[in-house]
Amino acid sequence: MAQTTLTPTLLTSQICLLADFPGQDSPKLLSQPKKILTTSDPLEVPDLLRQAEELAKSAGWVGGYLSYEAAEAFLLPVVANPKKPLIWFAQFDHAQNVCYPHPDQLQNINKCNPKPKISPQQYQADIAKILEYIQAGDSYQVNHTIAAKLTDNIDLATLYLTLQPQHRFDYASWLNCGDLIIASFSPELLLTKEGSKITTAPIKGTRPRTSNFKDDLKAGKTLQNSPKDKAEHVMIVDMARNDLGRICTVGSVTAPHLFELRHFSTLYHLESRVTGELKPGTGFKSVMEAMFPAASITGAPKRRTMEIIKELEQRQRGVYTGSVGVIKPNGDYTFNVAIRTVTQAYKNESAYMGLGGGIVADSNPQEEWMEIADKGVFINSVPEPFGLIETFLLNDKGEINNLAEHLHRLEKSAKRLGFKCDIASIKKNVQINTDSMGKSGKLPQIIRIELALNGEVKISNRAFIAPPKKLKVMLSDNRVDRFNSLLQHKTTRRSFFDNHLQNAKNNGFDDILFLNNIGRITEGAIRAIFIRKKSNWYTPPISDGLLPSIWRAKEIINLQAKEQSITAEDIKQADEIIMGNSVQGGVVVGEITTMAKTKEGTTTQLVWSQTNINS
């Protein structure tokens, strides 16, 4: 089925919800609502949550939002307004796979320039009061937020379609309720349910990213090693554990990996995933009652801290710090924490966004003011558009290696990321180009396909260079973000890998091997990896944050390998290691070495050597 390309008019001319969440096979546009559930009465909220779940089970997708003030339904303190909806859900008759437009297809957007509705002086006074409450023992952490007005005449639909395809926020969504438009660029998960498993992923801890590669890596490591940020983070994780404990079976709630460094386009964040098994019969309403609002945007303890928030903010937050999400026809659901979220009450009225952060005992008011400014940078930041790529070998016989597999991967990635893709046309153009190269006699050649967001294709070629007989590999001390969905797609956004590979080659290595943010081996900059221990072969699973390599898929079959997480310790214990890709094939690894710079100079340490194994 052909995918419709999104336009600003398509998003603003109808009641609809655009969801672009992990686990989907494509961005989904939900439209043609059959039934709408909404209320401004907190007493009606629980029943409407039950109805929303039942509607999804009976027929189709259900999506919508809960405002922060919907917490009043769960007897939590908020600034009430009886005229504004607390929740809004719709049962949609139509769920459509869609493509994003290329930036060239959109009008240029003006700078948004968020203007805080309070002065820095008032903000500092609020922080001073919060610190008094913390000193008195009323709270351990207060998530204080402000409202900011965007520049007038901002076209929110154009803004969304410009930013999301390039930033790729994990839990972004667009919701047009008719009288309210929501553009949520959220990186944070409130909850996702898959069968009986439920997961929440609080974010707490922030550092701005920089364009300088070395400085950027340093900023991430500084955040990971910050005692203040870790202390702030663990408070929220403990609350998340407690919230899940109310609805999950005894002993099932776990947070196996704390303080994972997440890499977003303008910021680093710390994230911890907390999971549990729902008690039998636990419905959507009970889950929201336990989990909403998110601990990360209230503080600890929740009730008393929300009283402090109500006293100091003296305004409704609205959808900001509430939640936007979808319930699937199978009963599973995903809802974000509606941070980095812009709302517009009517198309011609001003647009607003919220900004905030957690205040703890040792918070510095000036630094906190700067942090909320950092969190708003994304709204005026448009990363360079990226493309999807495939590279394959035109061998010395003029035959294309693994063309069908490469085109299938390209088509699957295009669908998931919202790229327009005519795979039949691409195949035809590849054949024409390779036939011409074959007649030239200059074989073998490496063929490269680059697909743009709008479906435009570039085909290029370069000479094949044979790999070394044995690989000398550097083990990087910089980690990849295993939840970065782009790692599972071959894209032109490769600066992280390219910079590391060039550094490795400058130091005499052939490739560089990465670990993810929980210490598991992923892949090389240009090759997948297999290790042998005794008679068994192993390769990392895709879920550890790596590309589904064509060569890797074939070697799993050839070697009868198991997909299993691999640690640096497993590398040390390996009897044999190979790395490869579909262009150069598999190559034996001769050694793996770490390299570090110290005050005394550069030091190296051998991690694994084929010579040592054979000897």
d(CA 164, CA 283): 31
Per the CB < 8 A criterion, the answer to whether 220 and 261 are in contact is: yes
Phi, psi of 381 (to 5 degrees): -115, 120
Task: Record the tokens describing residue 445, joined without a space.
Answer: 């050649």
Q: What is the CATH number of domain 470-614?
A: 3.20.10.10
Q: Which helix (H) or strand (E) holds 222?
A: helix 213-224
| pLDDT band of 2, cuts 50, 70, 90 | low
| pLDDT band of 613, cuts 50, 70, 90 | low
d(CA 430, CA 407): 10
**DSSP state letter for 59:** S
70: exposed, middle or buried (C-beta count within 10 Å: 0-12, 13-18, 19+)? buried
d(CA 527, CA 550): 11
Task: Report the chain's mean pLDDT, rounded to a whole number.
Answer: 94
124: exposed, middle or buried (C-beta count within 10 Å: 0-12, 13-18, 19+)? middle
pLDDT beyond 80 at 440 = no
Radius of gyration of the CA atoms of the chain, in A: 26
Which of 3.30.1490.20, 2.20.28.270, 3.60.120.10, 3.30.70.270 is the CATH number of 4-380? 3.60.120.10
| pLDDT band of 94, cuts 50, 70, 90 | confident
Lowest mean pLDDT among 385-389, 449-453, 599-603, 610-614: 610-614
Residue 559: C-alpha distances to residues 48, 482, 553, 569, 598 (Å): 54, 25, 10, 22, 41
d(CA 407, CA 374): 40
Q: Are strands 333-336 and 323-327 parallel, antiparallel or unpaired?
A: antiparallel
Q: Please report, rounded to a whole number, the percentage of residues in the chain having pLDDT higher than 70.
A: 99
> In this predicted model, what pLDDT tens digit does every residue of 139-148 receive, in sequence order?
999 999 999 9
Task: Record the tokens describing residue 125, joined without a space.
Answer: 């006074």
Per the CB < 8 A criterion, the answer to whether 559 and 549 are in contact is: no
pTM of the model: 0.94
- The beta strands (E) that lie in 408-556 are given as 445-451, 457-463, 470-475, 511-515, 521-524, 528-533, 536-539
Count of positions (residues) in the chain: 615
Average pLDDT over residues 26-37: 96
The pLDDT value given to residue 473? 98
DSSP sequence for 71-138 = GGGGT------TTS-SEEEEEEEEEEEEEPPPGGGSPPPPP---EESS-HHHHHHHHHHHHHHHHTTS
All structural domains of the chain with their residue ranges: 4-380, 388-463, 470-614
Per the CB < 8 A criterion, the answer to whether 542 and 486 are in contact is: no
d(CA 491, CA 478): 20
d(CA 141, CA 133): 10
Q: Is the dihedral of CA 252, 256, 259, 265 positive or negative?
A: negative
pLDDT beyond 90 at 612 = no
Average pLDDT over residues 430-448: 85
- The beta strands (E) that lie in 436-502 are given as 445-451, 457-463, 470-475
For 133-156, letters b (16+ CB in 10 Å) and e give bbeeeebbbbbbbbbbebeeebbb
> In this predicted model, what pLDDT tens digit does every residue of 197-226 receive, in sequence order?
999 999 999 999 998 988 999 999 999 999
508: exposed, middle or buried (C-beta count within 10 Å: 0-12, 13-18, 19+)? exposed
Per the CB < 8 A criterion, the answer to whether 195 and 332 are in contact is: yes
d(CA 52, CA 536): 49
* Domain at 388-463, CATH class: alpha beta
